[in-house]
A and B are shown apart, each in its own frame.
Chain A
Amino acid sequence: MPPLDDVLLVTLPVLLAAFVLLDRHLVRACSLFVLFALAVALTWWKLGFLWLAMLETLLGAALTGGFLFHALGVGLAGRAPTARLAHARDPVPLIWRRGLVHLLPVLALLGMLAAALGSLPASDGSLAARWSGLVLIGLGLWAFALHTHLLRRLLAFNITGTGIFLLLMSLVGKTAPAAGQGLVITGLVVALLGTALGALLVRRLGALVPSREPASASDGQAS
């Protein structure tokens, strides 16, 4: 029976991620994402990767969050135009049947991953991180395939990425920490840059097409 704080640290990001991905109110979702990033930073700290915890706080929570809010037009002082906030809600409702259909490929991928991981033994401490990583990957991919709102896709991408980082560090934590950290740091920077680019784009697109819903790309067949 693992200690309670371990369980909490592993389940907290997963829960937060689920809330982030299911919330149609985008400002709330972004705020939850910042919380999620902080929770992940805590997990890193608990796993003993101090550097990663700091970077996650800085890059994941602060900067990524900042860019996400920028995309929504929410400034530091919160003096955002209300019209924009009205848009800050995904107009596409969640249809459960669609959600279930999109779950199938994700489950297939997770099954593949699990089959591969089955042959890699895990130490006790990393098992929990591995599972939460897998769940985050699944959740993120599912949401990425499901949502058409660009910002929600960015959120989903970030959560998938975090899941992969967790999985990666749970796999290599002891054997090759330097290489693993190198990959994760690169990944964090890439995720930040990608999110930043995406956020700026969402903003620009919104400014260019004021009449249409700023960030809908339903014509795009991206999945």
Chain B
Amino acid sequence: MIERLGLVTTQLPTTGSSVMALLVVVLPLLLGVLGAACRPKRGWPAVLASLLALLPLLTLTPLVVSQGTQAWVLELDGLTLHWRANGLTLLLLLLTQLLVLASAAYAPAYLRVAVQAQGRGPAWLWPLMGLLAASLSLIWLAADLLTLYIGLELMGLSAVGLMLLPGREDALAAGMRYLLLALIGSLAFLLGLALLLGAWGRLDLAGLAEAVEAGPVLWVAMALLSAGLLLKAAAFPLHAWLAPVHGSAWTPVSALHAALVIKASFFIALQLWLVFAPQAAVAAWVVGGMGAAAVVWGGLLAWRADKLKDVVAWSTVSQLGYLLIGFPLLIGTAPAVASIAWDGVWLQLLAHSLAKAAMFLAVGNLMLATGESRVSGLAGASRRFPLALLSFGIAAISLVGLPPSAGFTAKWLLLHAALAAGQWPWLLVLAVGTLLSAAYVFRVFRYSFVEDVELEDYRPVPLRMDLIALILALASLLLGLAATWPLALLEIAGGGP
């Protein structure tokens, strides 16, 4: 498993492209600076700036594809930082940049229509978004715990900042709660790091993987690290903060948060488990059980939710449960099973990120157009806002896991892995999750198909906003049949091509 993460000690670090790696992290910041300086009123400057951030990826990708995993060592006054890029890293970087691009293209129109320059909030959006993108890139690239810690904290703080931007009372109250929990999560993470560093004296993952030995120190450290990360990832018993935060946040921010921020914590957690406890099957089952509870509980809450955004937010809790089920399928299982589950987990992550971003944008459009934030306010929407509803529907197909979406292909792989591993409970969980997600998604549709409502005042949103949501939704749909491409990229893991 550790080879799949691209963590190899034997390989000589390549130095030629370290500029590229730095650029991957730094260029998103440029978006922030430019955005703050110009306060773009139109989409294209923001799009150009985000496209700029894609450039280093374009040079990095052929390098990784042809030469296999790239690793860099950065010396900083006695500190050594380890970075690496393999197929998985590239995939996640690409996902991040694309979603940031989509949000950046969406944001100017959204700010113009929905926010109307109230307060200083809009000015802060761009730098925080740039910081978020940079910290996410840092997390994907990091191969040592210090870099991971820096990335995680930067991400957490910029995410909290983004959530606070609306400046309304409910946003501030929810944001305060999020901030406190995020801070507690960081403390737990740091304490875990302290134990690891104290016991084995190093922070690079590849070195630690060889050095660590099972024992109370490792277990306590892992418990602390996991608790902190799962808190930030809104995993089941620690999920209560999520929906209020999304309820009042701006749409493009919600999209980024649900699609990427939560995934980053999950990514770190899975990575740490695979590195430090690749055989801890029992503990992984505990995490899987949490995932199962999340699938069911999140689905139920989404079903019962009154507000549109709550539906989408709770569905994130539920969908994250699918990812957590990856733990027992990846840890302590036979290589054949783990290989299927590996593909399934990352495909699920991609599918959910794209679909959830699309869904948040679509729901934002619907709320903006109807002026209603409740599900029942959608009555008649199918006639008036077909495009937004279509985006919602396509994203929903992927969330429910119906063919031909990427969510379906991912579910297929997870089901296959669970069957191959003989872990029957997960079959049941995936089945229940599918039905629940269908229930909450079609509840929204049911309202939208209601015809006998009066034509109240509603305002159409700019076409661009609808199109961005639609493109993301279509991406998540078509990825299901084109899954070979990301999966082939995932194969580029170890030393050689």
Contacts and interface: CB of A to CB of B under 8 A. Distances in A.
The reply to whether A and B meet directly (CB within 8 Å) is yes
Interface of A: 112-113, 115-120, 137, 144, 150, 153-154, 157, 160-161, 164, 167-168, 171-172, 175-180, 182-183, 186-187, 190-191, 193-194, 197-198, 201-202, 204-205, 208-209, 217, 220-222
B56 interface: no
Nearest to A212: B169
29 contacts: A112-B223, A113-B191, A113-B220, A115-B216, A116-B221, A119-B215, A120-B195, A120-B198, A120-B217, A150-B176, A153-B180, A164-B191, A168-B197, A171-B195, A172-B198, A176-B201, A183-B190, A183-B193, A186-B149, A186-B150, A190-B153, A190-B183, A194-B182, A197-B160, A197-B179, A201-B179, A205-B176, A221-B240, A222-B181
- For the complex of A and B, the 8 pairs showing the least CB-CB separation, nearest first, are A171-B198, A178-B78, A168-B194, A116-B220, A175-B201, A190-B153, A116-B217, A176-B201
Contacts of A204: 167, 172
A201 B197 contact: no
B195 A186 contact: no
Contacts of A222: 177, 180-181, 241
B146 A179 contact: yes
Interface of B: 77-79, 146, 149-150, 153, 157, 160-161, 164, 167, 169, 172-173, 175-177, 179-184, 186-187, 190-191, 193-195, 197-199, 201-203, 215-217, 219-221, 223, 240-241
Contacts of A144: 184
- Interface residue SS majority, chain A: helix
A116 B218 CA distance: 8
Contacts of A172: 194, 197-198, 201
Contact of B190 (A115, A164, A205, A221): A164
Contacts of A118: 216
Q: Which of A113, A116, A120, A205 has the most CB of B within 10 A?
A: A116
B202 A176 contact: yes
A194 B194 contact: no
Contacts of A178: 77-79
Contacts of B190: 161, 164, 168, 183, 187
Contacts, number: 133
Given A153-B180, A197-B157, A201-B175, 4 more contacts: A171-B198, A197-B161, A197-B179, A220-B176
A152 to B, nearest CB: 11
Contacts of B194: 164, 167-168, 171-172, 183
A198 B183 CA distance: 10
A183 B313 CA distance: 33
- Interface residue SS majority, chain B: helix
Nearest to A150: B176
Given A176-B202, A204-B172, A208-B169, A157 B153 contact: no
A207 B338 CA distance: 54
A201 to B, nearest CB: 5
A165 B216 CA distance: 21
B217 to A, nearest CB: 5
A187 B169 CA distance: 29
A133 to B, nearest CB: 9
A136 to B, nearest CB: 12
A202 B180 CA distance: 12
Contacts of A164: 187, 190-191, 194
Contacts of A113: 191, 195, 220
Contacts of B180: 150, 153-154, 157, 198, 222
A186 B216 CA distance: 27
A122 to B, nearest CB: 9
Nearest to B203: A179
B79 A171 contact: no
A64 B223 CA distance: 30
Nearest to B244: A220
Nearest to B150: A186
A177 B202 CA distance: 10
A198 B169 CA distance: 14
Contacts of A117: 195, 217
A222 B194 CA distance: 25
Contacts of B241: 222
A220 B180 CA distance: 11
B156 to A, nearest CB: 8
B201 A194 contact: no
A205 B173 contact: yes
Contacts of A180: 197
Contacts of B179: 194, 197-198, 201
A198 B176 contact: yes
Nearest to A209: B169
Contact of A120 (B150, B153, B199): B199
Contacts of B149: 183, 186
A106 to B, nearest CB: 13
Given A168-B190, A171-B195, A194 B157 contact: yes
A144 to B, nearest CB: 7
A157 B181 CA distance: 10
B187 A193 contact: no
A48 B348 CA distance: 49
Given A157-B187, A168-B197, A205 B172 contact: yes
Contact of B146 (A120, A161, A186): A186
Nearest to A158: B183
A197 B180 CA distance: 10
Contacts of B164: 197, 201
B169 A205 contact: yes
Contacts of B172: 201, 204-205, 208
A49 to B, nearest CB: 13
A194 B183 contact: yes
B468 to A, nearest CB: 29
